[in-house]
Each structure stands twice: as C-alpha cells, then as structure tokens.
Amino acid sequence: MSRLDSAIRRLQAQRACLDWAVGEIAGQPGPVLELGLGNGRSYDHLRARLPGREIFVFERKVAAHPDCVPDDQHLLLGDFNDSLPGALARIGARAVFAHCDIGSGDAVLTAALAAFVGPALAPLLAPGAVVAADQALDIPGCREVALPADVGLGRYHLYRNSSH
C-alpha cells in the first residue's frame, strides 16, 4: 500500500470514529477534549459536528491553519506532561468525549506519550465518556469498544469510560 493510500485510510478511519463518537454523546452535556491540534482538521470537523459545544485543545506548539485554532480560553498550550495534570480545574467539568491524535513518526516517543496520556486522561473523563485515539491507550476505568464496521482493526481505537 502506498503512503498516500495509507494516509487516506487513516483519515477515513479517523472521520468514522469521530462521527461515531459524536452520535454517542448526542444529548449528553459536557466538554470535548482534543489532544493534539496538528493542522486543525479534526478540531475543525468536531467544531462543525458539535456546534455550541466547548472543545478544549491540548497542543505543544500551534502550527494549524489560522481558521482552525481555538480561542485562548480553549487552548491549553504546552507539553501534555504539564498541561493534562490539573486541567480539570481549567476545563470546569469532566469531558464526555476526548479525541487523542498523538502519534508521530517516532515509534519510541509515541509509545512513551501514549503510556503517559492514558492514565493522565482518566481523571478528565465523565462516566460513560467516549475516547477515540490513533494509538492504543491504557486508560484506567475505560474499556475498548468495537470500531465502526468500515474501520480496520488497529487503525484507530475507541474506548468508553465505565467507571462511575
């Protein structure tokens, strides 16, 4: 498979999982978290699918298209190691959905980041919250759920917070 085909499949899987999650949280109050702004495509997609919903974005350094950057109130800048712990005080409520797009071209760094993000994300999630991630995460209190039918196994990951 070419790198172009692989990128297309990854983006299709991402969109399918984001759209599934949006359906799952319909009618549930609470903020949404976006871990990793990147160029802003998934943030923009969530903004379009969840009008009026607060979306808090965690990003080390903004490099997104200017139209896809949240306002200062909803942007938590810095390394995840610094911005995730204690973020609940700034957000004000536990999230009903978190999207984690944290992979990079460096497998070792990505694995270390995923190992940190799972436990750090857990205290920010409301009971029943949904998590979509490009990396496998070990999130205390969460269980993996089935992917949409058109998403290949391992291409994306979905979780639901089963803690109360």
Domain count, the chain: 1
- The tens digit of pLDDT for each residue in 122-157 reads 999 999 999 999 999 999 999 999 999 999 898 999
Structure tokens at 95: 């999230």
CA 72 to chain centre: 19
CA 56 to chain centre: 10
Q: Given phi > 0 = left and psi -120 to 50 = alpha, else beta, which region is 126?
A: beta
CATH code assigned at 99: 3.40.50.150
Model pLDDT, residue 63: 86
Structure tokens at 78: 């810095």
- Write the burial class of residue 123 (CB in 10 Å: 0-12 exposed, 13-18 middle, 19+ buried): middle
Residue labelled with tokens 């943030």? 43
Range of the domain at 40: 3-161
Whole-angstrom distance, CA of residue 116 vs CA of residue 133: 14
| Interstrand relation of 157-161 and 142-145 (parallel, antiparallel or unpaired) | antiparallel
HSE-CB for 76 with a 13 A CA cutoff: 21
In this predicted structure, the answer to whether residue 6 has a pLDDT above a threshold of 90 is no
- The tens digit of pLDDT for each residue in 25-76 reads 999 999 999 999 988 999 999 999 999 999 999 999 998 888 999 999 999 9
- The tens digit of pLDDT for each residue in 64-91 reads 888 999 999 999 999 999 999 999 999 9
| CB atoms near residue 83 (< 10 Å) | 19
Judged by DSSP in three states, 2 sits in coil
Tell me the average pLDDT of the chain.
Answer: 94
Q: How far is CA 64 from each of CA 44, 59, 77, 104, 108, rounded to the nearest angstrom?
A: 10, 10, 13, 16, 24
